[in-house]
Amino acid sequence: MVVFFGKVLKINLTDRTSRTEELDQETLRKFVGGSALGAKILYDEVPAGADPLGPDNKLIYTVGPITGTNAPCASRLNITTKSPLTGAIGNSLSGGHFPVEMKKTGYDAIVIEGKADEPVYVLIKEDKVDIRNAKKYWGLNTQDTQNYIKEDLNDLSLRISCIGPAGENISLMACIMNEARAAGRKGVGAVMGSKNLKAIVVRGDKEVPVVDPDRFQAAIREVLKNLKESDLVYPVFTHTGTVLAVDGTSALGVMPVNNFRDTGVVDYSKTLGTKAYAQYDQTKNPCYRCPMSCTQVRMARGGRYAGISTEGPEFETIYSMGSVLGVDDPELVIAADRLCDELGIDTMSSGVAIAMAMELYEEGILTETDGLELSFGNGDIVLPLLKMMAYREGFAEIFADGTRRAAERLGEKAKYYAMEVKGLELPAYDVRGLKAHGLNYATSFTGADHNRGYAFQEVFGIPVPHAVERLDIKGKGELTKFNQDFAGLYDILTMCEFPVQTALPHVAQKIGAELLSASTGLEFTEEDAWQLGERLNNICRMFNIREGFSRKDDTLPRRLMEEPIKEGLSQGERISQEDLDYMLDEYYKARGWDEEGIPTPEKLRELGIEDTIDAIPVTV
């Protein structure tokens, strides 16, 4: 017996209609849900060369087969679109409670098509789909939008995914918020804004099916057992959240400082690490059925930011609003995190954009700043700049679309200071000291993305599939493939990758196969489960190739390739072009791609996605 919702809700904003489509068994078997289902729909339905901000692009919400069950850490949402920030496939993740509520509406995917002629929101409730006027909410921040819609509909149990001013003003760094959880990266909020869509509102009443409850519960028991036995999860991570990575990366000398110019020179673990943030802890706000409850709610207690609270700030935000700006004020980071959530702007891309602006100002390349002193360490300008970028005001409009476009507008000299890959700003790891992590940034189908293939072996020293030396380039091609396929599997299920990578990596294939088989009734071996992640990475690669991407785009910022880290445990490290070429050759070989990084027809047939072969460039 196979039990699966297997339904896709398609909403056309242009003519304000909706329809339901059934997924066939072959599609369910090959792509299942989550990020793979989103990628499949995008590849099939968005034409090559489509304008990411045009009506031909689609905004695709997908959940997985275990979303909404009693599986722990499984309340995850994938939003897939053609990224306006990169031009590549964009895949953004979010947790919280919206994913479960969406699943309970009975849909595995919600596809937004076309463009409304005025601001609207979508209400999905009790088998009804309404497209309603949203003029009264246009201009509101994300928190007020959610509160007022719930009040107007007289239903506080609704779950809402929405944009703020950044999305409305089509900042290519705009994110989508549900409660205080962000689908933060790749400009997904700009796509939503371009469609005049303010929010998607859901309330579900369906029970999520599980074919074999006993087998499913046995897999869950194994998950919980391994979480309990972990030396990192409950003893540390539950109490600190992701801020613990500030301490770890600082110790390794890879916490980026001053736009990656001064990594290792300053130790921010004392001012922005776990001990520094412990004094601001208020409570926790876990995702649905998450036993780890890593989300710490913190509140600034004194000075100009007193009383401002936020869910976090997470490690990436502590980097992007802290160390990469030369800022060591934990309360400012709390305030900046809260403001980004309200504006609906990605903390990572916006922070790195500010860091670039600071260095350009110090180098004399950027001279018009509306009177703001943009020097590193000047935290006073952070909140004003965030607002200016979200509203496209003053000189900050230059940076509202990310660092790559800012560099294009400011000239050749500015390009050196843009810390991005494929247009996506770097996350919070100086990969000169983490070679596999760097290779992942270079090759990830979304650009510089730690969620696509996190090198937990290098960061946490976890010896799965084997122990590695973080500064060695050898073997990193195979390792990066492993990590990316690993991430792909759990983004398909969907299940939060962090607990799996830190506590369950040695049984990840087994548990993944069991959860898939028991929940869907489609039998998956461990090899079948792992191939899901590989298939995801290949279809996304083919989407990008169809859009004109090639080996030349699998690269890193010049600074990381030319400048060695100045001080610390990673002093002297860089990833030269020669090093990167070595790792790329190894990676392409491990993937079964040719030397230009193009999947071979044989590999595509092996994975059952031979319908993408026609996207392979014709060489003369």
Q: Are 433 and 252 in contact (CB under 8 A)?
A: yes
- Domains contained in the chain, number: 3
Cα–Cα distances (Å) from 388 to 30, 171, 384, 418, in that order, read: 44, 11, 6, 19
From 203, 224, 253, the end of a domain falls on 203
State the pLDDT at residue 609.
Answer: 98
Rounded Cα distance, 170 and 168, in Å: 5
Domain residues for the domain of 575 are 431-615
307 found inside a domain: yes
Co-location of 190 and 291 in the same domain: no
As given in the structure block, the two tokens for residue 265 are 């020179």
Kindly list the strands in the beta sheet with 120-125, ordered across the sheet, starting from the edge strand earlier in the chain.
128-133, 120-125, 197-203, 159-162, 176-178, 181-183
Please report whether residue 219 resides in a domain: no
Boundary residue ending a domain (377, 393, 417)? 417
Task: Convert the pLDDT of each residue in 230-264 to its tens digit.
Answer: 998 898 888 899 999 999 999 999 999 999 999 99
Q: Please write the tens of the pLDDT for every residue from 55-65.
A: 999 999 999 99
pLDDT reported for residue 286 = 87
Residues 413 and 444 grouped into a single domain: no
Q: Does residue 512 share a domain with residue 481? A: yes
Whether 410 and 435 map to the same domain: the answer is no
Q: Say if residue 248 is in the same domain as residue 155.
A: no
Q: What is the pLDDT of residue 18?
A: 98
Both 398 and 460 in a single domain? Answer: no
388 lies in a domain? yes
d(CA 565, CA 320) in angstroms, rounded, equals 19
pTM above 0.95, yes or no: yes
Determine, yes or no, domain membership for 71.
yes
Pairing label, strands 197-203, 120-125: parallel
Partners of 161 in beta bridges: 178, 200
pLDDT for 12 = 98
* Residue 299 and residue 158 share a domain: no
- Is residue 142 assigned to a domain? yes
- What pLDDT is recorded for position 601? 98
Tell me, what's the pLDDT at 2?
60
Same-domain status, 527 and 583: yes
The whole-angstrom separation of Cα 48 and Cα 615 is 9
The residue among 152, 182, 203 that closes a domain is: 203
My answer on whether 463 and 544 are in the same domain is yes
How far apart are the C-alpha atoms of 388 and 339, rounded to whole Å? 12
Is residue 237 in a domain?
no
Domain CATH number, residue 471: 1.10.599.10
Kindly state whether residues 282 and 412 are assigned to the same domain. Answer: yes
pLDDT at 478 (0 to 100): 98
Residue 222: inside a domain, yes or no?
A: no
Instruction: Judge if 576 and 436 occupy the same domain.
Output: yes
CATH number at residue 73: 3.60.9.10
CATH number for the domain including 331? 1.10.569.10
Asked, for residue 224, whether it belongs to a domain, the answer is no
Task: Tokens 């990840």: give the residue.
Answer: 508
**Residues of the chain whose pLDDT is less than 50?**
620
Residues 15 and 154 in one domain: yes
Tokens coding 74 = 């499984």
